[in-house]
Structure 1
Amino acid sequence: MKHSLWLMIEVYTLDKLYKTVYMANGFDPAVNLAAEEYLMATCKENEVIMYLWQNEKTVVIGKHQNPLKECHMKRMKDDHIHLIRRKSGGGAVFHDLNNLNFTFIAHKKHYDEKKQFLVILRALKEYGINGCHTGRNDLTVNQMKFSGNAFMHQDHVSCHHGTLLVDAKLDELSLYLTPPTLKLQSKGIDSVRSRVTNLKAFNPTITVANLKDQLVRAFDQTYNGILSHHQMPTSQMLAPYVVKYNDWDWTFAESPKATVKHEKSFSWGHFSIEMAIKNGIIVNCMISTDALLDEPFLKFQDLLVGKKLKYKEMTILICDLFQDEQVKDGLIELMMNMCV
C-alpha cells in the first residue's frame, strides 16, 4: 500500500509544470550567455525557464554575421565596448544596463512562442503600453521597435531570447552599429535597421527593476504550474561555456568568408589594402600605395598572409616592420577598422 501511494505521488509530481525564474547577478556578457547555454543543457522536461539578465555595454552579433560588416570596431575599441557572438541567428544588437534581456527555455512539449511573447506584452500592459508582435522577430509600439528576438533549438530543448529597450542610450546604439566605410563582400546575414524606441518614452515610471517584477508576475499568470526562483549557476558550472564566449575564434573566426578592402590618404601617401579572409585568417592580401618612403610595404603584404585578423597581432607586426612613426600610426589606425 505504501509503495502504491509513493508511485502515485511521484507520477503526480512529474506531471506538474515547474516555472523557474533566474535573475543574473552580474553584467559580464560572456557569463550571461554562458548561463543561458548552461540552462538549455540542464532544463528539465517538465520545466519552463524565464531568465532575466543585463549586459554592460556590448554589441552582440548573430551566429551568421560578420562583425566587420555590423560594427564600428575602432569606436568599440576606443570606448571599451564588448563584442560577443551568440549562438542564435538574427541581427546585431547593442546592450547597456538600461536594456533588459529575457530568455525562455523549455523542452518542445512546453515551448510556445505565442505564450512567451504574451508574457512580455502582458507585463507591458501594466504600464499602459500596448505592444504588438510584428513579423517573427520584433515587438513594437506605435510601429517602433523596442524588442528584437531570436531563437535556437538544440536536441529537444528550445530557446527564445530578446531585448527590451527600457531607457537605453539610442545614440550609442547607432554609433556602434554603424560600420565605417569599408568595402566588404560577405555572404553573412545583415542586420535590418529599424526605427527603435525606449519603453520609457511611453511611460516614464518604467524601470529595469520594476519591469523584472512585472515580467515575473506575467510569467506566473501565463503558465499554470509551480513558480520558483532559483539561484544562478555557479562560476564553476559556467566555466566551460564562458571560455567559448571569450574566445577570439568563436567571436571572429566563425564569421562568413569575406573580402575586405579599405583605403585612405595619409600625409605620407595614399594606401589601399584588400584582404580575403576565411575562418578569421588572411588567405590573400594585396597592398598598393604611392608613398615615396623607403618602407617595406610589399613585405608587409606577404607577412599578413596566414595571420589572424587580430588587432594586437597587427599592431606588433606594424611596429616591428616599419620605421617611420607616421606610417606606423596611420596603418595602426587603419587596422583598427578592420580587425577584432
Structure 2
Amino acid sequence: MRRAPVPAVLLCGTVLLLSSCAWGGTDEGGERPPGIPAGVTAEAGSATSVHVMWNQVTADPPITGYEVYRGAEKVEEVDAEDHMVDVVQLKPGTRYVFTVRARDAEGRLSEHSREVTATTPQAVAADDSPPTAPGRTTGRAAGSRAVQLEWGAAKDDQKVVSYDIFQGDSKIHSVGGNQTAAVVTGLRAGTDYAFTVKARDAADNVSPAGNAVRLTTAEGDGDSGADTAPTDFTATTSKVDGAYNLDLAWMPPPVDGVISEYQIQLDGQSATSLVWGGEPPEGRSEYSFYIGEKAGETHRVRLRPKLPDGTWGGYSEELTVTTGAS
C-alpha cells in the first residue's frame, strides 16, 4: 500500500502517527517505560510561584504519579489523578525551566517532557492590598465530564497575575490574569459541584472568593460531548502523485491545557491517531493522510480530541467526501 505523503517524525516532528511509530526503547526486562507527558505548560501565578500543567498519560501498568523538575532538580511529586501543580518559593523576576516525567506502578520513569519556561513578575514593594473579588461567575455543564466557567475581571492596585479556581475548598486550577474563562475537565458524571474563583496579584495577595456556581454534570458517559468536540470541521480530498489524500481542518475545543492528540475515525472505524510532536498549532489545525488511488470512492470521517485530563472529548460532526469530486 502506498504510504501517506505527509511525513511522520518520531518525537521531534510536526506530527506523530501512533499507528506506525514506537515510543522510546525498552528497559532490561523488555518492558516499555511510560510515555512522555505531552501538553506541558507553565505560567507564573505570582512573583514567587509558577503553575505547571500537563496532559495525563495512559499506560499499562498504570501511571502512579508524576515528577516535576525545575532545571535538573526534582521539585514536586503528584498523584496519578493530578495533572497540575503550583511550584512555590521561587524568586521574583526570574526565568525558570520546567519538565515533567511520568512514573508507573513498576517504578519506571518516562523521559523528561519538552522544556517549558515561565518568568515570575517582579515583586511590588509593600503591596499588602489584595485584588477585589472577581465579578459575577457563571457556568454550565459541558457533558458528563466537564464544566465551562466565566467570571468578571477583578481589580488590583498593581495587576492581577492569575485566577485560582476552587472546587469546594480545594484549589483545582489556575489561569493567567488576562483570562476570565476556563473549562474544568476530569469530573464525574451525574455529580453536583460548587466552584468559586479568586484573584491573585504578584505579591501573593489573594482576593475574596467570587460567588459560588453550582453545576451538575450530565448522567453517564454516553452523552455527545459536543462541548468538548472540535468545531468548524471541514474535509476535502486532493490528488497528489496519482493518489488521493483526505485533507482535514478544524478548530480545537476551548479547554484548559493543551490538546496534543486526536483520533480520526474513517467509515466508522478508527483510522489513525495523531500527536503534535511540538507545540500544537494556534487556532485552526490541519492534517492530511492517504486514502487510496481510486476516484469516486465515498468516505465518512470525523475526529475527537484527547483532553488534558486523559479522557476522550466528543466527536466532531461526521462529514462525507468522495475522491475526485470537484
Indicate the TM-score class for this superposition, using the shorter chain for normalisation. Answer: under 0.3
When the two structures are superposed, what TM-score results if normalisation uses the length of structure 1?
Answer: 0.19
Higher Cα Rg, which structure: 1
Higher strand share: 2
When the two structures are superposed, what TM-score results if normalisation uses the length of structure 2?
Answer: 0.19
